[in-house]
């Protein structure tokens, strides 16, 4: 009896790598590389799409955030009125309430915060210089002085050089910005006009999203074949849940952090308590990195004030972070995103390098959406693989 000759794909090493699937993967990668190479050579064709994306992205993102913030109120009104009240009227009433709240905040809070911000900007260089002097005094009176002297490290000269370079850099930056604005006033006005027009369109986009946004998933499902609609509908539903949970949860968490920080700063008597509390609320939208950014100016002010104020500030910041991490975030956001903290840090660094501030803010929800999509695609691949793959458990001993 003649032994059947094994093919190249039946060899042990190639079977270990995937057999014919390896060839399919290599061909797929080759085709993907060719497509990317061709697109790179004809990228000018897609320039209009790039301009369209840049124009639409700002009002689109703001409108989507407003949509998820106001949608619960629209649904509550529909449920309470049992559909008898027109949705357009509900949206207009919400617009009036939001406009009234924004006007009230502008009249009551904005002047006070503006004065505090102006005073802080004027006095912060003095705070910074006193911070340097306090650091030098501490080093002179500590055991680090002898250690640094052994290594011939003149920290006073180092700190003075750093301070001088920082002041020079800030002065040069202001000068360059002023000259750039003066030389490119036309481009500056054009950019500012585009931003203002984008902001003006946000209420109109938001109105139609609230009015007909719930019809959009049904419209998208009609594009797909009937047998795929259940799967696509599940993906869209999970994506909607991820974005909604993140936006609503992150805003509520940020408000709680801002309120707790402000109360803590007022209790310990820290200068510019309200302004620093607002800064903590705004920057806490960015996980992990936001609190560090917010606490930096407060640390400088506290160090200049007194060591006891610094200790009080550290206690307040620690308590707020513990309350936020152990009680507020788990109860408000739960485990809807289920993203590891290390993954969050890498996502923030990557998206921030690629897209700047917008990437830092939108990186986490973008990653969550991508994770949902990839998870479902991977599930489809596994189901297809398990369906068509033969049971080879008897051939291999593990």
3-state SS assignment for residue 335: coil
What would the DSSP string read from start to end of 63-111?
HHHHHHHHHHHHHHHHHHHTT-S-HHHHHHHHHHHHHHHHHHHHHHTHH
pLDDT at 7 over 50: yes
> Is 13 within the bounds of a domain?
no
Name the pLDDT band for 166 (thresholds 50, 70, 90): low
pLDDT at 1 over 50: no
Q: pLDDT tens, 42-78?
A: 777 777 777 777 777 778 888 888 888 888 888 888 8
Of 48-62, 155-169, 335-349, minimum mean pLDDT range: 155-169
Structure token digits, residue 377: 């695609």
> Which pLDDT score, from 0 to 100, does residue 140 have?
62
Name the pLDDT band for 109 (thresholds 50, 70, 90): confident
Name the pLDDT band for 193 (thresholds 50, 70, 90): low
Q: pLDDT tens, 236-289?
A: 888 888 888 888 888 888 888 888 988 998 898 888 888 888 888 888 877 777
Q: pLDDT tens, 13-52?
A: 666 666 666 777 788 889 988 988 888 787 777 777 777 7
Mean pLDDT of the chain: 75
> Is 112 within the bounds of a domain?
yes
CA distance 328 to 275: 22
> Is 191 within the bounds of a domain?
yes
pLDDT at 398 over 50: no
Q: What is the mean pLDDT of residues 226-234?
A: 83
Q: Which of 180, 249, 243 is nearest to 213 (CA)?
A: 243
- Report the percent of the chain where pLDDT is more than 70: 71
> Is 87 within the bounds of a domain?
yes
Name the pLDDT band for 359 (thresholds 50, 70, 90): confident
pTM of the model: 0.68
270 Cβ neighbours under 8 A, 6+ residues apart: 276, 298, 301, 302, 305, 309, 312, 313
Name the pLDDT band for 397 (thresholds 50, 70, 90): very low
> Is 288 within the bounds of a domain?
no
- Report the percent of the chain where pLDDT is more than 90: 1
Element (H, E) at 346: helix 341-355
> Which pLDDT score, from 0 to 100, does residue 159 have?
58
Give how many domains the chain has, as a whole number.
Answer: 1
Name the pLDDT band for 185 (thresholds 50, 70, 90): low
The residue among 180 and 293 whose pLDDT is bigger is 293
- Give the best-scoring range by mean pLDDT among 22-31, 94-103, 235-244, 343-352: 94-103
CA distance 68 to 209: 10
Torsion of CA 314, 315, 316, 319, to 10 degrees: 120
Domain span holding position 193: 55-120+175-223
pLDDT at 96 over 80: yes
> Is 103 within the bounds of a domain?
yes
pLDDT at 310 over 70: yes
Q: What is the largest CA-CA distance in the chain?
A: 97
> Which pLDDT score, from 0 to 100, does residue 181 have?
47
Cβ–Cβ < 8 Å for 246, 336? yes
> Is 61 within the bounds of a domain?
yes
> Which pLDDT score, from 0 to 100, does residue 335 have?
57
Q: Which of 268, 264, 273 is nearest to 112 (CA)?
A: 273
Sign of CA dihedral 57, 59, 60, 61: positive
> Which pLDDT score, from 0 to 100, does residue 5 have?
54
> Is 203 within the bounds of a domain?
yes
Name the pLDDT band for 394 (thresholds 50, 70, 90): very low
């Amino acid at each position: 009896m003649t032994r059947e000759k094994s093919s190249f794909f039946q060899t042990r090493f190639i079977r270990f790598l995937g057999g014919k699937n390896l060839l399919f993967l290599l061909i797929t990668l080759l085709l993907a590389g060719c497509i990317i190479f061709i697109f790179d050579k004809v990228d000018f064709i897609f320039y209009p799409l790039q301009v369209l994306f840049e124009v639409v992205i700002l009002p689109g993102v703001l409108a989507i955030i407003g949509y998820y913030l106001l949608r619960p109120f629209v649904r509550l009104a529909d449920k309470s009125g049992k559909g008898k009240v027109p949705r357009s009227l509900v949206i207009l009433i919400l617009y009036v309430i939001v406009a009234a709240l924004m006007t009230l905040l502008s009249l009551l809070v904005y002047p006070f915060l503006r004065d505090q911000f102006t005073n802080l900007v004027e006095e912060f260089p003095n705070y910074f210089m006193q911070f340097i002097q306090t650091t030098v005094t501490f080093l002179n009176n500590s055991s680090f002085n002898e250690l640094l002297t052994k290594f011939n490290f003149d920290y006073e000269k180092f700190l003075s050089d750093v301070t001088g370079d920082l002041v020079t850099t800030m002065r040069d930056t202001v000068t360059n910005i002023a000259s750039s604005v003066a030389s490119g006033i036309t481009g500056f006005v054009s950019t500012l006009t585009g931003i203002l027009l984008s902001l003006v369109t946000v209420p109109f986009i938001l109105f139609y999203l609230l009015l007909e946004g719930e019809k959009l998933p049904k419209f998208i499902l009609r594009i797909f074949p009937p047998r795929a609609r259940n799967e696509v509908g599940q993906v869209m539903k999970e994506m909607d849940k991820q974005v909604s949970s993140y936006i609503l949860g992150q805003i509520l968490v940020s408000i709680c952090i801002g309120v707790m920080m402000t109360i803590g700063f007022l209790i310990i008597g820290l200068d510019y308590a309200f302004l620093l509390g607002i800064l903590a609320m705004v920057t806490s939208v960015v996980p992990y990195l936001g609190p560090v950014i917010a606490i930096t100016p407060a640390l400088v002010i506290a160090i200049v004030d007194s060591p006891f104020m610094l200790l009080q500030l550290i206690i307040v910041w620690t308590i707020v972070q513990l309350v936020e991490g152990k009680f507020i975030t788990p109860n408000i956001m739960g485990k809807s995103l289920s993203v590891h903290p290390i993954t969050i840090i890498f996502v923030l660094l990557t998206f921030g390098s690629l897209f700047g501030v917008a990437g830092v803010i939108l990186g986490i929800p973008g990653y969550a959406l991508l994770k949902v999509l990839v998870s479902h695609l991977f599930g489809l691949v596994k189901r297809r693989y398990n369906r068509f793959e033969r049971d080879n458990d008897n051939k291999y001993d593990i």
